[in-house]
Structure 1
């Protein structure tokens, strides 16, 4: 089977998924346009006002929606179709960017251009939560970290290419041209999204099982634990109280604080310490972007291990230490080397945080969680840039580097014990789940599933012992869960079979059953009865669908098994698969 031979977790593996390719292409082109127009906006504001204060004010005003709106945008991304939301957002941003081009060319007041830019940022706040929720639906578990690393690499490339392209456009054309080109990137993103095929409903939850006259206990439990039932406050509390998520979120906020400070300190360091003028700031920024390109492949490898907690904390400490060492850098070469390390550490922190978020939260919570984190991250970036600017004015650039670096270093030191405990717990968890994951790995329908996916299923599985003669599932009941046989033998019977047809084979160890009703959106199609005392693993149906969804090979394997069995027991019945 293809899924068993293809090596997952690589860039190439992540890019084999068409939905991810379209999503990434659209996002990257749009991000390039954003970075390109930021340079043009600063040029317009300074040209019209000749005031650095106006430029600073424009940056602050433009960032306010990024601090305030993401929690609301995240909630919206969970309540509407994410693909349609991205289409609408890119259409609105294209119109607003075109308006900036027209306003600039017509000589409109600079405040109009700033407000239009602020509106573009407001519309963009839905992009992060929507994309965060879409990625797990178009990429299987085994390629999730690699997909996030691909996204991070392309973002790092955009950081290098975008501002440079903006500067070239200003030399060859005008700010209005840059704004028009930004509008065009949103149109390209819109077209890419039209080609995107998502495997998930808007809310990130699966369709409901086939209805029966009254809900089963399994259905009642699932309804009570539905992700959409949790409030935004509850999601925020979860991010703060869950140890794994808290370490990841606090680390990325600390890293964003350092990143925000670089927007001011790179310029001042280049002017006052390295003597390379404003061009040196561009070199440092480009080096940081290149560091992201180098760090992204490492991030996917780290995410596959059991030392993610300490790796995240170490990257926060490394980025802060690089900023601190800029105070004594002897020249631009060393300065760029430090910026390279800083950019790589920042990118690894971000990729690991996003991957942990996607692995630990149901897709129904990803929108709000991503929105809350985006809000805190942008606030941290803004705080880092403002604090560094104030300290530079009061005490000079070297003290600014010290102050800005010490804060995330202290945060990293404080988080180290928790991160180490999480890594120990992660190793213990893997070892404890090993017997179950070995059983699940031997199930034909799960061939090719990643270790992380198998561990999720193993952790959620409930072990059940049934006596000989007990009915495990009954034909006509609502299909909620899937079962895997650990020990014993079970018989399959159905009212649809006719005399003379071959019997349905018995189910033995490492066989699964119950998937037909789940995948084909119908009640149970057969009755399964224990022939001898049996030990079973009950797998939550919604979780199984979430694991299968987006992995074409795994989806094919599970779907083929279900279809083959359904044709055997119901040769004339309609087939309606709902994995996708």
Structure 2
């Protein structure tokens, strides 16, 4: 497990495993396409409505499916072979995204399809996370998970920084077609790069298929809720609901400080860029140090938002949001510790529940911040979110410290 004395993983070891390289490659191609599609929708809505509420609402729509898809569908990756789940999920999303690219498709229809696309990704993401824990032992898993998480963050940096220009050049339809192609490529890489394994949770049992599904969902929920260590890690993850508000309010905040459309891209790229740097640092710290820093870093992720109340300008704001992103790298050791603390046969289901808690907090935070910004202004809302985030992180960090001490040495 994480924290075994004397074990130090290296990137060479991690990338020396062929199956990890396949997981890495599949994420690179699919996540990059997703970011361009997300930027296309965000800019399109704000340009049409000039409304912080509508912009944040549509952006938050990408998080909504996880409220139901995470707990309801992630368990499929325990019940069915995980490679098969990843391939089917990718191909289904490719088809749906291609339909979204139909010219003149009304915005409500595109939004509805977006919900289905995100829902279809839940079991695939759970299968990928569980497979990574299987192919990478001990400290290699934390380092490998850090690499996979950094893929997501780097794709956000590239997508947010260049997405506006690319979408303006290609048009939203072509950006969505490119996204569909990336899902197909991801499915091919997984099919031929990941070894077939039996489903860890597909044991012989009685009852209907629906009954088994409900039993799996209930067992995973009870495991997370009744285990202080797992419960506190989920609490720390949910702090993201406060500092993620910078994503939903980037456009109206940039306008309030006199920024252009390019400034929106800079601000959106600042947080994920900081997260990448933070992950590189956190992954190399000794395990006991990482575990002790979870609470303090969760607090530090929200502090920079408070300064937005004084409109510090584009450069200072970008630096502040970058610092927030660096501190948010605590998610790497927290999520790795959560995954390895769950038995393999419950791993995908528990992952789905934790991901649901995280994305629900993020989606709710963005949506509520957008609504509040229509009355109070983006800078004020960001500052309030920062204060609330600090208070929540202090409580979650205290719960984690109690659970960690009760569990004994790492």
TM-score range, shorter chain: 0.7 to 0.9
Considering fraction of residues, name the structure with more strand: 1
Superimposed CA distance per residue, residues 262-306 of structure 1 (whole angstroms, 9 cap, x where no aligned partner): 12333333222x43234323212212121122011223234x422
Residues 253 and 378, structure 2, Cα contact 8 Å, conserved in 1: yes
Output the CA distance in 1 between the equivalents of 2:405 and 2:63. Answer: 39
Alignment equivalent of 2:219, drawn from 230, 234, 241: 234
Correspondence for 2:275? 292
Q: How does 1:101-500 map to 2 (within 5 A)?
A: 101=101, 103-104=102-103, 107-198=104-195, 200-203=197-200, 231-259=216-244, 261-272=245-256, 274-302=257-285, 304-328=286-310, 330-346=312-328, 348-425=329-406, 428-429=408-409
Residues 71 and 353, structure 2, Cα contact 8 Å, conserved in 1: yes
> Which ranges in structure 2 are unaligned for 5 or more consecutive residues?
1-5, 205-211
Greater C-alpha Rg:
1
3-state SS, counterpart of residue 252 of structure 2 = helix
Residues 157 and 273, structure 2, Cα contact 8 Å, conserved in 1: yes
3-state SS, counterpart of residue 429 of structure 1 = coil
Considering fraction of residues, name the structure with more helix: 2
Report deviation, 1:381: 1.0
Residues 248 and 312, structure 1, Cα contact 8 Å, conserved in 2: no
Output the CA distance in 2 between the equivalents of 1:169 and 1:314. Answer: 38
Q: Structure 1 residues 389 and 109 mapped into 2: Cα distance closer, same or farther (>3 Å)?
A: closer
The farther-off stretch of 392-401 and 179-188 is: 392-401
The farther-off stretch of 131-140 and 395-404 is: 395-404
Superimposed CA distance per residue, residues 503-551 of structure 1 (whole angstroms, 9 cap, x where no aligned partner): xxxxxxxxxxxxxxxxxxxxxxxxxxxxxxxxxxxxxxxxxxxxxxxxx
- Return the TM-score normalized by structure 1: 0.63
Q: Structure 1 residues 128 and 262 mapped into 2: Cα distance closer, same or farther (>3 Å)?
A: same
Output the CA distance in 2 between the equivalents of 1:373 and 1:31. Answer: 20
Report deviation, 1:370: 1.2
Correspondence for 1:38? 38
Residues 100 and 116, structure 1, Cα contact 8 Å, conserved in 2: yes
The two structures, once aligned, show a CA RMSD in angstroms of: 2.8
Residues 242 and 386, structure 2, Cα contact 8 Å, conserved in 1: no
Report deviation, 1:185: 0.5
Output the CA distance in 1 between the equivalents of 2:230 and 2:336. Answer: 11
Q: Structure 1 residues 279 and 169 mapped into 2: Cα distance closer, same or farther (>3 Å)?
A: closer
Report deviation, 1:204: 6.0
Superimposed CA distance per residue, residues 441-486 of structure 1 (whole angstroms, 9 cap, x where no aligned partner): xxxxxxxxxxxxxxxxxxxxxxxxxxxxxxxxxxxxxxxxxxxxxx
Output the CA distance in 2 between the equivalents of 1:198 and 1:8. Answer: 26
Report deviation, 1:65: 1.7
Q: Structure 1 residues 334 and 317 mapped into 2: Cα distance closer, same or farther (>3 Å)?
A: same
3-state SS, counterpart of residue 125 of structure 1 = helix
Report deviation, 1:189: 0.3
- Return the TM-score normalized by structure 2: 0.87
Superimposed CA distance per residue, residues 100-147 of structure 1 (whole angstroms, 9 cap, x where no aligned partner): 22x12xx23333323222221121122221111111111121301101
Residues 160 and 268, structure 2, Cα contact 8 Å, conserved in 1: no
Tell me how many residue pairs correspond in the alignment.
397
Output the CA distance in 2 between the equivalents of 1:230 and 1:408. Answer: 35
Q: Structure 1 residues 182 and 28 mapped into 2: Cα distance closer, same or farther (>3 Å)?
A: same
Report deviation, 1:340: 1.1
Output the CA distance in 2 between the equivalents of 1:246 and 1:74. Answer: 18
Correspondence for 1:520? none
Residues 254 and 408, structure 1, Cα contact 8 Å, conserved in 2: yes
Residues 319 and 343, structure 1, Cα contact 8 Å, conserved in 2: yes
Q: Structure 1 residues 65 and 350 mapped into 2: Cα distance closer, same or farther (>3 Å)?
A: same
**Per chain length, whose mean CA-contact separation is higher, i.e. which structure has more relative contact order (CA < 8 Å, sep 6+)?**
2
